[in-house]
């Protein structure tokens, strides 16, 4: 298992950050690396809600596996190459005065063998960049000047 952790301080209250993350189908409005997103389930705000995301020519399904309002959102990702057994992204929000500390952790399972672990590290680098892009997009979206 490979674990990639990215963090960012966002100059907004935790509830504001949660509102953006909890609008599960709207990720394409703030994540620069997501071209399109939409719900595939009626429910959008609890465990089991699923969205389809388009990243370039790749389509993936993301299903919420942990929902702790105001604190944590985790989702599994399917539709990646078969060499990737599983990927889970977990967003955590912690209040820090007027700011929020936002963490995005990706857990990647490509298998236990050395060659599989090597693939996991390569996939981890790609997902690490994607995480930085998403955190930056979320920060720009939330901190934009309302004027």
Q: What is the pLDDT of residue 147?
A: 42
Residue 46 CA to residue 53 CA, distance in Å, equals 18
Residue 28 CA to residue 144 CA, distance in Å, equals 16
Sketch out the chain's domains with CATH numbers: 2-143 (3.30.530.20)
Q: What is the pLDDT of residue 81?
A: 86
Q: What is the pLDDT of residue 44?
A: 84
Q: What is the pLDDT tens value at each position of the chain, 147 positions in all?
A: 899 999 999 999 999 999 999 999 999 999 999 999 999 999 888 999 999 999 999 999 999 999 999 999 999 999 988 889 999 999 999 999 999 999 999 999 999 999 998 999 999 999 999 999 999 999 999 998 554
Angle at 27 between CA 26 and CA 33, to 5 degrees: 145
Supply the DSSP symbol for 79. Answer: -
Kindly tell me the sign of the dihedral angle through the C-alpha atoms of 44, 131, 111, 37. Answer: positive
Q: Which residues have CB under 8 Å from 9's CB, separation 6+?
A: 96, 99, 100, 101, 102
Q: What is the pLDDT of residue 145?
A: 55
Q: What is the pLDDT of residue 144?
A: 87
Residue written as tokens 């920060």?
Answer: 139
User: What is the tens place of the pLDDT at every residue in 106-131?
Assistant: 999 999 999 998 999 999 999 999 99
Residue 28 CA to residue 120 CA, distance in Å, equals 26
Q: What is the pLDDT of residue 82?
A: 87
């Amino acid at each position: 298992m490979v674990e990639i952790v990215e963090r960012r301080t966002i100059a907004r209250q935790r509830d504001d950050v949660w509102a953006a993350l909890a609008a599960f189908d709207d990720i394409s409005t703030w994540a620069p690396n997501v071209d399109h997103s939409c719900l595939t389930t009626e429910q959008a705000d609890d465990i089991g809600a699923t969205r389809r995301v388009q990243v370039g020519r790749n389509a993936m399904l993301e299903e919420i596996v942990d929902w702790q309002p105001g604190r944590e959102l985790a989702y599994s990702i399917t539709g990646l190459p078969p060499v990737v057994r599983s990927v889970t992204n977990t967003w955590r929000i912690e209040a820090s005065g007027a700011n929020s500390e936002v963490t995005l952790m990706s857990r990647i399972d490509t298998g236990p063998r050395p060659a599989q672990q090597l693939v996991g590290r390569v996939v981890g680098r790609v997902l690490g960049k994607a995480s930085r892009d998403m955190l930056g997009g979320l920060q720009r979206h939330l901190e934009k000047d309302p004027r």
